[in-house]
Amino acid sequence: MATNITERLDYVLHIDKVHTKLLLNIWHFENLKIAIDDNEVWIKDFTLDQINSKEVKSLSPARIYYLKEARLFPKGKLLPVARMKMMPSWKPIQTVLQLKTPDLNHNYFGIPEKASFEIVKFEAEKDTCAQLIQITDFNSQIIETAASYRLEKLTYTIVAPDQLLIIGTPLLPLKGYSFWKNKSSFYPTGYYLKYPALETIVQNAIDQDQIHFIIWQKNNCYTLIEKDQFVPLTISSYRKSLKLIDNE
């Protein structure tokens, strides 16, 4: 069977300097090196997964090559189109491209204002590890009849008089909204920040003390929940929470 030799070669990306802002999409690939010469920008040190990633594919003006004996081959092609010229210097991408913290609105569930950043549909599959559920008869029955081993890895907190947020795996078959987690942020299943490179910056701007979970909604609003508010989910603790809610 023939072997695709391009998988063993170094990939480089070329883009005109006028499109530099688009490189925000790959800024979070910390291993990348960048060189700028006049009106050209070159980036190297991609892994195979990175070069085939959604982020790189979104760079429509870019041209991708693989290197062999200092010659440039278009990705997927067997004939070279040019020689790779000597670049003045290669530097880490995060050193050359400086990102600024976006203006943030501290929005909460139910508030219609939107922040200046977005979460968008995300193709990569991520494991669900949290649920926002309504306190209904159906959900209560599932929780109160669950075997103890099904609850032992779950924690929860009350987020509204009729809502719970449950974290852990495996989750129960409850009706509600599911989330996946990255760092201290929980995103709706199938969604992620439009610019993943901003994630750390956004999290630090929203939660400087690093004591909260950030729970995102599809409308770009979020809420902060202190991490120490979560308690183990047991039948007893759930029933106590119901009594507490009823007494308020």
Domain boundary among 62, 96, 130: 96
- pLDDT value of residue 132: 95
- pTM beyond 0.85, yes or no: no
For 46, the domain range is 5-96
The answer to whether the CB of 187 falls within 8 A of the CB of 169 is no
Return all residues near 206 (Cβ < 8 A) that are at least 6 apart: 104, 106, 212, 214, 222, 224
CA distances from 16 to 10, 19, 23, 43, 100 (A): 20, 6, 11, 11, 22
Q: Please indicate, yes or no, whether residues 195 and 82 belong to a single structural domain of this protein.
A: no
128 in any annotated domain:
yes
- Please report which confidence band the pLDDT of residue 106 belongs to, taking 50, 70 and 90 as the band edges: very low
Residue 243 has pLDDT above 90, yes or no: no
First and final C-alpha spacing in the chain: 70
List of E strands, 86-154: 91-92, 119-121, 130-134
Number of domains in the chain: 2
- Type and span of the H or E element at 241: helix 235-247
Parallel, antiparallel, or unpaired for β 231-232 and 155-160?
A: antiparallel
Looking at mean pLDDT, say which of 62-66, 102-106, 194-198, 202-206 comes out highest.
Answer: 62-66
Q: Supply angle C-alpha 209, 191, 49, rounded to 5.
A: 95
Domain boundary among 96, 131, 162: 96
Domain boundary among 32, 65, 96: 96
Q: Please indicate, yes or no, whether residues 63 and 145 belong to a single structural domain of this protein.
A: no
- Please report which confidence band the pLDDT of residue 125 belongs to, taking 50, 70 and 90 as the band edges: confident
